[in-house]
Each structure stands twice: as C-alpha cells, then as structure tokens.
Structure 1
Amino acid sequence: MGFALIANKICLLCVIVLLPALCTSQDTFTCSRATYYGRPDCYGTPSGACGFGEFGRTVNDGYVSGVSWLYRNGAGCGACYQVRCITPQYCTDEGVNVVVTDYGEGDRTDFILSPRAYASLARPDVDVDLFAHGVIDVEYRRVSCQYSDYEYLMFKVHEHSRNPHYLALVMIYVAGQNDITAVELWQEDCEEWKAMRRAYGAVWDMANPPSGPINLRFQVCGSAGETWVQSRNPLPADWKAGSAYDTGIQLT
C-alpha cells in the first residue's frame, strides 16, 4: 500500500509540474488515465464536439480521442498525442498516436479513445484483457500531426453554411504541433481584416460574409509562438457548403 501511495503522489506531481503551455511543444510525458467509448464500427464519431463530422470519424484511420481539459474550448481540436499505458503485461511500449476530435469526461480521464485506438495500446492477443479494465493509467505527450496524403492546411465549408448569408469554416489537416487560434476574412470595402467567431470546436463562422472571392488569414499557435499566415488561395465567390478548400499553407 505504501508503494501505491508513493506512485500516486509521483503521478500527481507529474501532472502538476508538466502541464503543457498553450503555445509550446511537449517533449515529456504526463501521467493521466484513459478509457474508451463504444461504437460498433470501432471508428470515431461523426457528431463530436469539434464539429469535424465525417472527417472526425475516419481521420488517422479512426485512431481518435475525446479529451477533457485538453479540449481547451476547442483550440485543442485536431491536436495529436502519443498515448501509452503503463501496465507492461498488457501494453506495448509505443502506445498509439491519436487525433483529438471530441470532448469527453470520464472517471478522472483525460482521454476517451475510440475502440480502435484503445485496442492498439495492447500487446498482441491481450486486447480483451485491456478492455476488461475499462479505465487504465496512461502517460501522454503532444506530438506532430502528419498527414501523408495532404500537404497543405485545408478548411471545409460547414454544411450549415448558406451562400451568401452565412459562412462557417472547419479547420482540417492542421499539421505539426500547431493550433489555429483565430481566423479573419479580408473586408474589401472597409479595407480591413474582420474576425470570424469560434462557434464551437474547430468551427469558425460569420454572418453576411464579404461577397466575391474571400481572402483569409489564420493565427497559428505553435512551438515558435503565435504568427499570422495568409491563405494563398482565396475562397471562391461560388463557395459551396460541404466543399473542402486548400489554403496552400504548409504547417510543420
């Protein structure tokens, strides 16, 4: 019992001391707990709090997670983490890399993993034993997101958008260890940048957006601090709800 008490105190100290800053990379592991949610297909959910829709179900081949405080009011949507459990008889040393697509709270957990991600924590042939635990002790760290098929930052026009009266954008394929913390549109008649509102999660919106092709810029928060980057490709005047557009911006 004394050893368990010491271990719990060490883990608590780990959490307190190593909480990641919003705009810095995290090289060390932080102690936490993880569980999983049930879906018959073992992938993510299209109704996650980040607003990713179908993208949130299949991104990273379904290795996704809901998070609690790491959600950060939606700024944490799309962030990638390496999660590994600390039960050697059941778990691999590498763990699994997951993409944040949802918000969720469990029994003192920071991660609620998709079944595919949770199963990948386990050593061969012992995943059933791991699932039987339900909630497990883990350690995690922020890692770079990498999308081999997508070179540039992209955004999708949310299905609720209605040209020309309402525009909502969903940030997708945010590579590296970067967060999108602000989005602005160029208002040509006023000759100034107008801020979009973070509606929720990774969704940014604006009523009565500018007409014609729309120039956008994004505030990117990463290991080098915050910086503004402008899309090389304007949103076309005939933008359509449900369509995805390439910014031409490479984030690393």
Structure 2
Amino acid sequence: MGLTLDRCLSLMCVIMILLPSLCFSQNYYVSSRATYYGSPDCFGTPTGACGYKDYGSTVNGGEVTGVSKLFKNGTGCGACYQVRCKYSKHCSEDGVKVVVTDHGEGDNTDFVLSARAYNKLALQGQAEILFSYGVVDIEYKRISCQYPGYNLMFKVHEHSRFPNYLALVAIYQAGVSEITAVELWQEDCQEWRGMRRAYGAVWDMPNPPQGAINLRFQVSGSKWVQLKSLIPSEWKAGATYNTAIQLD
C-alpha cells in the first residue's frame, strides 16, 4: 500500500530534523589511548606502512601518526584527526591535528604519534610529564585535511620500473574522502584496467599502458574522477604529477 501525501510529508519532516543531528554526530570525540615513537629529528618515519616515503615523515610539519584499527587495510592512509589528551593539568585544549602515515599499535592504543605530534598534546612546559607517562588517555575525531596551495598529486613510487612496473601513491589529499579504487585506460583494448592496492596507499600495475596515461579514481566507493594524460609517456620513478584538482 502506498504512502499518503500526509505521511510522505511527515516522513520528510523527520528526515530533515534528523539530518542536522546526524551531521553533527560526526563531530563527536571518541575516547581512546595514544603513545609515541622516537626518531632522531622527531619527525615521522619514511618507512611507514602507507608507502609515503619522505612525504610521510614531513607532511603537516611532521605531526603524523600511525594508527591501528583506523588504518583500515590502507584505506585510512592520509586521513586527518584532531587528537587531544584528557589530563587538564598537562594537556592543551585543542591538542594536535595529525595525518595518518603508518600502521602502528601500542598498549591498547589507537594512535602512535610522532614525537612532534605528541609534544603538541601538552600545555607549555608540561610535555616532559606526558612523555614520562608513555601512554595517555585521549579523545579524537575525524577532521577534513587541508593543504593550502597544494592540489592532489599522484607520485610515481620509487619502486616503479619504467616501462614494466608502475606504482602510484596519492599525496596532498584534502577533505575527508577516501580513494577506494584506481584504474588506467588501456587504449588498444578500449577498457579501464584496475590497479591493485599493493599496500597502504600504494596502487600498482605490471605492464602498464604505453604512452601518456589516462587515470581515474573512485572516491569513497561511489564518485569517479577522471584525469586525462596525467602520467606522461616517459614517466620516472619518484616523479610527482599535479592533478590540478583537490578533493572536498
């Protein structure tokens, strides 16, 4: 039996009432724990599981993190979170914004922060106390990544070997969207060929198409974004190619 007009209008009103609260719920903080890892310069590590290399150690001023369950088999790479600790005498109100560049687990922790990021959790003069704790109670929420002055870029991973093996990694990915698939156009077959998620944020393909490469990627499992001739025919390992776009 179909819905009457009155019932349809009532249902629409309920949806309109619920939508703001559903959107607002994304701002809720989730309780967890965090620790840190050491490095000579207090930046991130260039050997992180996301495959970002040097970008992964210095992006966001080195305020980066490894995550456990939020890694999501690599889909969580590049996500941004606001993290703040819960000890009022020692912790800053806003905490720190971090970018996921690695997989890592501690003592029942969701975050393993770089030393620079962990330091930002503290009030001025209180960082030494937090470092002495080793693990702290925190709360976190997902936030939009922002890279002013940068477009989304695809970097040819250093492990690539022209022309037989191509691996790509997206960097400076703004917004809250996740890249869930990457495909390259095969001109002679007139079809899109899917790249494999090799690990972390790295997508690869043996025997990639010859010539300038058309690329498309899927955002958060639905929208496809197509980029014509993004990768030149004579691509090189380590080179970075600007998409001239940015995600929301």
The residue number in structure 1 matching 2:19 is: none
The residue number in structure 1 matching 2:136 is: 136
Query: Is the aligned partner of 1:235 residue 2:234?
Result: no
AA matched with 2:235 = W
AA matched with 2:92 = T
Q: CA deviation at 1:162?
A: 1.1
Identity over aligned pairs, percent: 65
Q: Describe the SS at the equivalent of 1:72.
A: helix
What is the distance in 2 between the residues matched to 1:220 and 1:249? Answer: 13
AA matched with 2:79 = A
**CA RMSD of superposed structures (Å):** 1.1
After TM superposition, the runs of 4+ consecutive aligned structure 1 residues lying more than 4 A away are none
The residue number in structure 1 matching 2:3 is: none
TM-score by length of 2: 0.88
Q: Describe the SS at the equivalent of 1:234.
A: strand
After TM superposition, the structure 1 stretch with the greater mean CA deviation from structure 2, 62-71 or 240-249, is: 240-249
The residue number in structure 2 matching 1:218 is: 217
Q: Is contact 2:75-2:178 (8 Å) kept? A: yes
Q: CA deviation at 1:67?
A: 0.2
Q: CA deviation at 1:232?
A: 4.6
The residue number in structure 2 matching 1:165 is: 164
Q: Which has the larger radius of gyration?
A: 2
Gaps of 5+ in 2: 1-24
The residue number in structure 1 matching 2:49 is: 49
What is the distance in 1 between the residues matched to 2:156 and 2:130? Answer: 39
The residue number in structure 1 matching 2:7 is: none
Query: Is the aligned partner of 1:244 residue 2:224?
Result: no
Gaps of 5+ in 1: 1-24
Q: Is contact 1:233-1:247 (8 Å) kept? A: no
The CA deviation string for residues 101-127 of structure 1, in whole angstroms up to 9 with x for no partner, is 000111000000000000000000010
Q: CA deviation at 1:231?
A: 1.7
AA matched with 2:199 = Y
What is the distance in 2 between the residues matched to 1:237 and 1:91? Answer: 51
Q: Is contact 1:232-1:249 (8 Å) kept? A: no
TM-score by length of 1: 0.87
Q: Describe the SS at the equivalent of 1:118.
A: helix
What is the distance in 1 between the residues matched to 2:223 and 2:204? Answer: 21
Q: Describe the SS at the equivalent of 2:246.
A: coil
Q: CA deviation at 1:233?
A: 4.7
AA matched with 1:85 = C
The residue number in structure 2 matching 1:194 is: 193
What is the distance in 2 between the residues matched to 1:199 and 1:26? Answer: 30
What is the distance in 1 between the residues matched to 2:27 and 2:189? Answer: 44
What is the distance in 2 between the residues matched to 1:182 and 1:91? Answer: 39
